[in-house]
Amino acid sequence: MNVYPPGFKPNTQIGLPAHYDPGYFGSLIQNVNGGLQLNYKQKWINLDMPSNVFFIKIGDHAEVLTNGKYKSPMHRVILNNEVRRISVATVHGPSLDTFVKPAPEFVGESHPPAYRGMIYKDSLEANGYHEIDGKSCMAQLRL
């Protein structure tokens, strides 16, 4: 569970820095609308997500599995100047010993593998999964 206090300057204070999530997908539910931003074409866009609704997003390892067809988005949280934001976020991935690589259905003559395979646990450790630093494991997996 994440608890973000009200900020002092609306829509400018960072509650959680920009980052990517590992795994196949992530899910999020929050108590208020607002606060979550996605980076799209180098611009931050506010995600209009009603309270108590599940938001599902693609994770880094789904990007690998689909050979880049589906992208893992960079995202962050900004503070609301009026209300406290509470969210519950989870990351869903394979078992730690799974070798994740582009699935054959997403690879072909016109779409060669864009990522090398790696054991899920190794990619988490190499990326410092316990740190939020704006980095994605994609850098270590791209060919």
Cα–Cα separations (whole angstroms), residue 130 to 14, 19, 67, 105, 126: 19, 12, 25, 32, 11
Residue 93 neighbours by CB under 8 Å, 6+ apart:
22, 23, 24, 59, 61, 120
Question: Which residue(s) pair with 103 in the sheet?
Answer: none
The number of domains in the chain is 1
List the CATH number of the domain containing 37: 2.60.120.330
Q: Are 2 and 88 in contact (CB under 8 A)?
A: yes
Q: Is 54's pLDDT higher than 80?
A: yes
Q: What percent of the chain has pLDDT over 70?
A: 87
**Residue 129: how many CA atoms within 13 Å on its side-chain side?**
16
What is the structure's pLDDT at 137? 66
Q: Are 127 and 141 in contact (CB under 8 A)?
A: no
Q: Is 58's pLDDT higher than 60?
A: yes
Q: Is 38's pLDDT higher than 90?
A: yes
Higher pLDDT, 115 or 125: 115
Provide the pLDDT confidence category of residue 65 given band limits of 50, 70 and 90: very high
What is the structure's pLDDT at 43? 96
pTM: 0.82
Q: Which domain holds residue 106?
A: 2-141
Provide the pLDDT confidence category of residue 33 given band limits of 50, 70 and 90: confident
